[in-house]
Amino acid sequence: MSDRLHRRRFVTTTAGLAAGLLSLPLRAQAPKFPSRPIKIVVAFPPGGLTDAYARMYADQLTTALGGSALVENKPGAGGILAIDAVAKSPADGHTLLMTTSGTVWQNRVLYSKLPYNLDKDLTPIAVFPSGPLVIAVSDKVPARNLQEFIAWARQNPCSMGTYAPGSLPHMVADQLNRSEGTKMQSVHYRGEAPMWIDVANGNVQIAVGSYQAFNTVSTRGVRALAVTGSYRSPKLPDVPTAMETGVTGRLFSLEGGLPLMAPAGTPEAVLQALSKVVVDGANTDRAAKLRENFAIPNKPKNLADTRADWDRDVPVWVKLAVDLGIKLD
């Protein structure tokens, strides 16, 4: 075989192989994440624990993933406005929700009609623990402990401040009215700051909220009576849990949290990346300082553990809302 013929066959074969390779479908490349700024929609105004966690996480996302992340506060309608905005966003990880457990767990019971389906439209990434919540009264109330307040509130119609309709404080007020015969009217605020100011001014008699927000008025005429959850607040070691005072309803033993969520259908790799930033970020000095300021001893968990806790806890909270029979529409 001549060298010319050999070269001709080699070129022909090589060209055929190249053409065949070009005709094969190209393997889809996973889109770069993030490819634009990440927006965290917060269901409450600036100044509370939810907002503080969101702003810290936004900074951690910027450092860990590159690009930028920002916080958009969208309070109102018991968290529905913020949740709906995220539920209807593209499922690509660039729009996230930060809210309280009550707004996503109980709202499905508290409202007959919602513009989204909480089970189908959103998926959890992490739940930031909120720690024990403080039950505190105005100094104008002549009660030194929770049992004294209950006795007083049976005879004196009064108001309990809550940071959102359907929130844990709202359910606490309803539970005490039903089980203890108190006469409390819930007053809903857009966040904790204005709620605690009204307690300090005596406009409402009692409220339930985070330690940090309570602490801003703790020397201005507001007195802690108890905390929710199964353990005392690290910042208030002399303040008993509600259960220790004899109030034993299941609601008072639970610890809520602050879910970080994404639209359902967000790629698993993106959810894992977002979760990793949460877990890694929990070990930073800034996160430790935030937990110390808000008296929160626990850290958020990884994606697998978050999903397991979600499947275990959501039915409990939903049943509590069903049993209380509260309707907000």
Q: With 50 as the cut, is the pLDDT of residue 19 above it?
A: no
Mean predicted confidence (pLDDT) in 167-186: 89
Q: Which pLDDT score, from 0 to 100, does residue 77 have?
A: 85
| CA 181/CA 149 separation, integer angstroms | 12
Question: Strand ranges (DSSP E) for 171-247?
Answer: 184-188, 206-209, 222-227
Domains of the chain: 38-129+256-324 (3.40.190.150), 134-253 (3.40.190.10)
pLDDT in tens, 82-115: 999 999 999 999 999 999 988 888 888 888 889 9
Q: Which pLDDT score, from 0 to 100, does residue 11 have?
A: 45
- Token pair belonging to 78: 């018991």
| CA 194/CA 198 separation, integer angstroms | 6
Question: Strand ranges (DSSP E) for 34-133?
Answer: 38-42, 69-73, 95-98, 122-129
- Token pair belonging to 80: 């529905």
pLDDT in tens, 67-76: 899 999 999 8
Q: Which pLDDT score, from 0 to 100, does residue 26 have?
A: 43
- Burial code (b: 16+ CB inside 10 Å, e: under 16) for 124-136 equals bbbbbbbbbbbbb
Entry pTM: 0.79
Q: Which pLDDT score, from 0 to 100, does residue 163 have?
A: 82
| CA 26/CA 247 separation, integer angstroms | 64
Q: Give, as one character, the DSSP assignment of residue 123.
A: E
Sign of the torsion angle spanned by Cα atoms 217, 220, 221, 226: positive
Helical (H) or strand (E) element with 99: none
Q: Which pLDDT score, from 0 to 100, does residue 5 have?
A: 44
Q: How many residues does the chain have?
A: 329
Mean predicted confidence (pLDDT) in 314-318: 86
- Residue 210's pLDDT band (boundaries 50, 70, 90)? confident
Rg (alpha carbons) of the chain, rounded to whole number = 26
- Residue 55's pLDDT band (boundaries 50, 70, 90)? very high
Q: Which pLDDT score, from 0 to 100, does residue 27 have?
A: 46
- Token pair belonging to 23: 């005709």
- Most confident of the ranges 101-115, 168-182, 203-217, 266-280: 266-280
